[in-house]
Amino acid sequence: MRDFKIAPSILSADFARLGEEVHSVLAAGADIVHFDVMDNHYVPNLTIGPLVCEALRKNGVKADIDVHLMVKPVDRLIPDFAKAGATYITFHPEASEHVDRSLSLIKDSGCRCGLVFNPATPLGYLDYVMDKVDMILIMSVNPGFGGQSFIRSALDKLRAVRARIDASGRPIRLEIDGGVKIDNIREIAAAGADTFVAGSAIFGTPDYRATIQKMREELAK
């Protein structure tokens, strides 16, 4: 079995109690904090920046923080997020003028780097950077909002990326983001994902521990 990780998206948390929400989802068994950064330019929504990431670290959050940049331009925010305590920084390749440079900037600032693919973005951006990326994130919704339905073409994409990762021999994480629920997580894992972002499916339920536990039971089947 792969080393599965559950990454709740704090986009669906109660922002008025963010620190408390993050601590409780981690205490409930989550592995990674998925941190959605939206700029009202690359995507039609506006969320949180490096100050909030830093505030979570100051509040004692020790888990990996997975910063998903949905911003254009990309590079300007990288050093600030690295300083703020990000573990992973991923970005959408079509939002960067120089994809290889953005990946290097992330690595050089001490974080792990990754590319994010929208439902209609082709995988060719990976061709010359498989030796560099630490994570590949497949979007199973169009980015911008929580609570959307899973787009099933993402399953074929996961299978294609899983084959590339296995061929590379590198420990690249394969993350899926959008519409992940208890009732589809098993099928998504079978297609090759090992890291599962879930926002509304976790924060929309009263008992985070029970929900994460059910997800793990599905993954163990």
Annotated ligand binding at 124? The verdict is no
Told to judge if 183 belongs to the known catalytic residues of this protein, a careful annotator would answer no
Annotated ligand binding at 178? The verdict is yes
Query: For residue 173, which amino acid is it?
Result: R
> Is residue 172 left, alpha or beta, with left meaning phi > 0 and alpha meaning psi from -120 to 50?
beta
Footprint on residues 155-194 left by Zn ion (CB under 5 A): 177
In the bound state with ligand DX5, the residue whose beta carbon lies nearer, of 161 and 180, is 180
Annotated ligand binding at 34? The verdict is yes
Dihedral sign of CA atoms 72, 6, 59, 200 in order: positive
Q: Mask: binding to ligand DX5, 129-158, rule CB under 6 A, as x and -?
A: ------------x-xx-xxx----------
**Nearest partner of 126 among 87, 163, 181, judged by Cα:** 163
Told to judge if 207 belongs to the known catalytic residues of this protein, a careful annotator would answer no
**Nearest partner of 93 among 137, 33, 140, judged by Cα:** 137
Choose which of 10, 13, 22, 36 interacts with Zn ion (CB under 5 A). 36
In the bound state with Zn ion, the residue whose beta carbon lies nearer, of 42 and 220, is 42
Annotated ligand binding at 64? The verdict is no
**Nearest partner of 155 among 130, 133, 172, 180, judged by Cα:** 180
Query: 66 is in the binding site of which of Zn ion, ligand DX5, none (Cβ under 5 to 8 A by kind)?
Result: none
Active site residues: 36, 177
